[in-house]
Amino acid sequence: MQSRIFRVFAGIIAVLWLSGCVSTPQSREVIGEYKHPSPGSTALTSRVLLDSVPFFPQEAYQCGPAALATVLQAAQVSVTPDALVSQVYVPARQGSLQIEMLAAARRHDRIAHTLPPDLESVLAQVQAGKPVLVMQNLGLSWYPQWHYAVVVGYDLAQEELTLRSGLVRDYRVRLPVFERTWQRAGHWAVVLLAPGELPEDGREDAYVNSVNDFAQSAADTELASAYEAGLRRWPQSRLLGMALANLNYAQGDLKAARTLYLHVTQVAPDYAAAHNNLAQTLLDLGEYEAARTHARLAVGLGGSFSATYEKTLDAIEKRIGER
């Protein structure tokens, strides 16, 4: 019996030793950049702690609701972990699924923006004052122990992160240790944005995708704020311009829609859908000749919705013929 216990214990030690040898390139890069910054780099500040971020001790199987309540309250949403349990906790799994966590954040009028799998991006959000919801695997790849926590600080000189985690308000963990547990959970990290706020990672496509997901449950005013903020950051974005123009059109603000559609056709002249939608808007406004010009451009450009573009042109030609 003793020899069996010894073999099991030795096996555990061996596995832990091997897992400790997993490479942590992102930690090395962040620490190396701090100690020896590249010329012209926008280096992170050495230490940040978002001490005002609330703390909810995470009881057994409740780390999902507690971590989500932490970032929601930091984003000025008044909610408790108990109120979130029914929205995110899956009893059969004794935990919370990522998709449910994201959906619950959107139901509370916040944009759930997934960060790139990059440690520096997480730290940049914290430096900007935004706590980051992360998922970790505190076990092993073949025996996972999934855990949600919230990054609220870092200290590059000490090479550590500070988390709201479990029953510990300020849980300090070495950067390489965190990287290993985060890596085993697929580098999942999310920041919550109020409509009108922007993430620090600067990825237009990712922001558009986050807002499109938010659009499924958002009010028009909140959605407009999100699109407008994005256009201030990326004024040449045809996707954001088109989305806001479509929203204006749906709300009956044809002049605002016309302005935006026209802008999109100028920054993306080969975007057939923008020409078509502009043509329809101009038709509705009684500007028939301009409408015909853009309808013909849409038909000429073609694409998957060619039949729609042709119908728009036919409607314009008919209206002109009736004059």
pLDDT per residue over 212-232, tens digit each?
999 999 999 999 999 999 999
pLDDT at 66 exceeding the cut of 50:
yes
State the first-to-last Cα distance of the chain, in angstroms, to the nearest integer.
98
- The confidence band for 88, taking pLDDT boundaries of 50, 70 and 90, is confident
Q: Could you give the angle at which helices 204-214 and 220-233 cross, rounded to 10 degrees?
A: 180
139 vs 147: CA distance, rounded Å: 10
Dihedral angle, C-alpha 93, 95, 98, 99, nearest 10 °: 60
Higher pLDDT, residue 90 or 55? 55
CATH 1.25.40.10 residue ranges in the chain? 235-321
pLDDT at 4 exceeding the cut of 60:
no
pLDDT at 256 exceeding the cut of 90:
yes
pLDDT at 118 exceeding the cut of 70:
yes
Higher pLDDT, residue 213 or 97? 213
pLDDT at 312 exceeding the cut of 80:
yes
Residue partners of 101: CB distance under 8 A and separation at least 6: 64, 68, 88, 112, 133, 148, 190
* pLDDT (0 to 100) of residue 2: 41
- The confidence band for 93, taking pLDDT boundaries of 50, 70 and 90, is low
Instruction: Note the maximum CA span of the chain.
Output: 99
CATH number for 235-321 (one of 2.40.170.20, 1.10.1030.10, 1.25.40.10, 3.30.70.20): it is: 1.25.40.10
The residue among 106, 167, 161, 159 whose CA lies nearest residue 134 is 161
pLDDT at 74 exceeding the cut of 80:
yes
pLDDT at 266 exceeding the cut of 60:
yes
CATH 3.90.70.10 residue ranges in the chain? 22-193
Mean pLDDT estimate for the chain: 90
Chain center to CA of 104: 14
User: Among 140-149, 246-255, 306-315, which stretch is predicted with the lowest mean pLDDT?
Assistant: 140-149
* pLDDT (0 to 100) of residue 85: 87
- Helix residue ranges per DSSP H, 184-305: 204-214, 220-233, 238-250, 254-267, 272-284, 288-301
Residue partners of 321: CB distance under 8 A and separation at least 6: none
- The confidence band for 43, taking pLDDT boundaries of 50, 70 and 90, is confident
pLDDT at 32 exceeding the cut of 50:
yes
pLDDT at 17 exceeding the cut of 70:
no
* pLDDT (0 to 100) of residue 92: 58
* pLDDT (0 to 100) of residue 61: 60
| Average pLDDT over every residue of 21-48 | 86
Higher pLDDT, residue 260 or 201? 260
| Average pLDDT over every residue of 178-206 | 96
Q: What is the pTM of this model?
A: 0.87
43 vs 17: CA distance, rounded Å: 33
pLDDT at 10 exceeding the cut of 80:
no
pLDDT at 78 exceeding the cut of 70:
yes
* pLDDT (0 to 100) of residue 95: 64
195 vs 221: CA distance, rounded Å: 9
Could you tell me the two tokens for 193?
Answer: 């944005």
125 vs 115: CA distance, rounded Å: 9
- The confidence band for 9, taking pLDDT boundaries of 50, 70 and 90, is very low
* pLDDT (0 to 100) of residue 14: 37
Q: Which CATH superfamily is domain 22-193 in?
A: Cysteine proteinases (3.90.70.10)
The full DSSP string for 21-53 is TS--HHHHHHHHHHHSPPTT--PPPSEEE-TTS
Residue partners of 213: CB distance under 8 A and separation at least 6: 102, 106, 112
| Average pLDDT over every residue of 249-253 | 97
Higher pLDDT, residue 275 or 10? 275
294 vs 301: CA distance, rounded Å: 11
| Average pLDDT over every residue of 55-75 | 89
Could you tell me the two tokens for 320?
Answer: 């002109």
Angle CA(227)–CA(135)–CA(141) in degrees, nearest 5?
135
